[in-house]
Amino acid sequence: MSSVAVIDYGMGNLHSIAKALQHADSRVDVQVTADASVIRAADRVVFPGVGAMRDCMQALNDTGLSAVIRESAQSKPFLGICLGMQALLTDSEENDGIACLNLFPGHVRRFTDHLHDAGGNILKIPHMGWNQVKQVEHPLWQHIPDQSRFYFVHSYYAVPDDARHSVATADYPQAFTCALAKDNVFAVQFHPEKSQTVGLQLLQNFLNWDGNV
Amino acid sequence: MSLAKRIIPCLDVDNGRVVKGVKFVDIRDAGDPVEIARRYDREGADEITFLDITATHDNRDTIVHVVEQVASEVFIPLTVGGGVRVLEDIRRMLNAGADKVGINSAAVFNPEFVKQAAEKFGSQCIVVAIDAKKVSQAGEAERWEIFTHGGRKPTGINAVEWAVKMKDYGAGEILLTSMDRDGTKSGFDLALTRAISEAVSIPVIASGGVGNLDHLADGIIHGKADAVLAASIFHFAEYSIEQAKRHLQSRGIEVRL
């Protein structure tokens, strides 16, 4: 039986992600854990997170989990979600500037206030709701139609230095990167665990993924 | 193409059973919230909101079990409101699988609570529910105030100013209910919805008064709402969520189908 560790570092509710993974594949052993040895032993790792980047990085440093996150990101299929995606970049402008894990060179920026759509309507921050995701070829998009809608809720977004790391974009109103990938790491800004059928498909793809592109 | 406007069915839950939340009809039609949530999910609801109207404190656990059960099989955002007064209430709802928590009267009695909640759990999960009623007379510039106790008690607080303050205190979203329209099936208070939506930079969910599908579309087009919430028109299967979405689409609104 394959196992997946959902990293629990106190940033948000992990009930949904654990349930969704289990729903995506009932044979998988899902463990929500803060134990580095369990994370090390797992076949796959999910790095979730909601909230503020300052709290996120502080929690990772306090728990000493950043080391095992780096290690996992180099050795097995690894999925970052929301704040767990943003934390993989070099730094974030949230909370007056926070150094992050630097697994993807690049920055995390805030959406500008007073954005408008083409019809002149104000675009609200956070970017909240179901937006279309434009894919760049990757095994994790298998069986998911291009431009499917996923559920987002965030005010900051990733700007990777290397455009080849961007494997999906969404428009708000400009295109921004909403999925990153490099080798065995895949990370998404939206919430697959809250994105109904397409979200569950993405999680299932992740649970079937061997980490090769 | 971009962000879709959201349709959010709302379930009023009393002691673990769904009851009709319309004040002018006295029928209390019970239903199983898990069953109904499943149906809404199948029909394409963008989120589901549970409003716990259980009166006694002892029975508050029932809503936690409902959320737990729904969150185990319905994978869309879930919001829970009603009776949220202390940080521990929020933690319990989030741990049960809720994604957002609605704060209503507790925000009015203690605005700092919203600030603490947003700092503790993040703005993304804090929805401030605003119950507003028109207080201006005919001929005057329109003005709305916050009311508590199901619309019975005026607070003297200006609704638009209150919405801005709640945003500044860390609310991630506003659930706006017109107490004049709630239960009337005559449509949203569009002027109120628009005034609030244009005053704050966070998303606004319009609520109170939906009687038909055009009301939903009007809330988005004329009220500038980011999402629309309704209970009875979906609850009694007058319309399915999918029908509602197709109708919005026919009026040029972007939806998730």
Indicate yes or no: CB of A153 within 8 angstroms of CB of B124: yes
Residues of chain A with C-beta less than 8 angstroms from the C-beta of B2: 117, 131-132, 171-173
- pLDDT value for A47: 96
CB-based contact A128 B173, cutoff 8 Å:
yes
**B30 found inside a domain:** yes
Amino acid symbol at A187: A
Contact A196 B97 (CB under 8 A): no
Residue B120 domain-assigned?
yes
Tokens of B11: 């379930």
Asked, for residue B255, whether it belongs to a domain, the answer is no
Nearest to B226 among A15, A124, A172 (CB): A124
CATH of the domain at B64: 3.20.20.70
Is B257 among the domain residues? no
Does the complex come out with an ipTM higher than 0.85? yes
Domain coverage including residue B206:
6-250
Question: How far is CA A124 from each of CA A116, B73, B177, rounded to the nearest angstrom?
Answer: 9, 30, 19
Q: Which pLDDT belongs to residue B30? A: 64
Please give the average per-residue pLDDT across A36-62, as a whole number. Answer: 93
Predicted pLDDT at B24: 41
Band (pLDDT 50/70/90 cuts) for residue B128 is very high
Q: Which tokens belong to A175?
A: 């295109």
Handedness of CA A82, B100, A30, B33 (dihedral sign): negative
Q: Which of A112, A130, A134 to mutate to test the interface with B (most CBs of B within 10 A)?
A: A130
Minimum-distance CB partner of B3 among A50, A172, A200:
A172
A129 close contact with B: CB closer than 8 A: yes
pLDDT at residue A69, as a whole number: 97
**Of B52, B131, B189, B218, which one is the catalytic site residue?**
B131
Contact in structure between A79 and A181 (CB atoms under 8 Å):
no
pLDDT reported for residue A13: 72
CA nearest to B98, candidates A31, A83, A5, A12 = A12
Q: How many CA atoms lie within 13 A of A4 on its CB side?
A: 28
pLDDT(B22) > 60: no
Stretch among A5-9, A93-97, A110-114, B148-152 having the lowest mean pLDDT: B148-152
Give one DSSP letter per residue of B201-250, joined into a string.
SS-EEEES---SHHHHHHHHHTT--SEEEESHHHHTTSS-HHHHHHHHHH
User: Contact A84/A73 with Cβ under 8 angstroms?
Assistant: no
| Domains identified in chain B, total number | 1
Domains and CATH numbers, chain A: 3-208 (3.40.50.880)
User: Is A182's Cβ below 8 Å from some Cβ in B?
Assistant: no
Strands (E), B35-99: 48-52, 78-81
To the nearest whole angstrom, how far is the Cα of B176 from the nearest Cα of chain A? 16
Residue whose structure tokens are 């949203």: B188
> CA-CA distance, B202 to B214, in Å (whole number)?
24
More confident residue, A136 or B22: A136
**Residue B125 located in a structural domain:** yes
H or E element in which residue B87 lies:
helix B87-96
Asked if residue B125 lies in contact with residue B94, where contact means CB atoms within 8 angstroms, the answer is yes
Of B22-26, B77-81, B105-109, the poorest mean pLDDT is in B22-26
Facing residues of B248 across strands? none
What pLDDT was estimated at residue B23? Answer: 46
pLDDT for the residue numbered B28: 59
Percentage with pLDDT > 70 across chain B: 94
In-domain check, residue B46: yes
Write b or e for each residue in B86-105: b if 16 or more Cβ atoms lie within 10 A of its Cβ, otherwise e.
eeebbebbbebbbbbbbbbb
pLDDT above 90: percentage of residues in chain B: 78
Residues B192-229: tens digit of each pLDDT: 999 999 999 999 999 999 999 999 999 999 999 999 99
Query: Is residue B1, in this structure, part of any structural domain at all?
Result: no
| B64 in any annotated domain | yes
Question: Mean pLDDT score of chain B, rounded to an integer?
Answer: 92
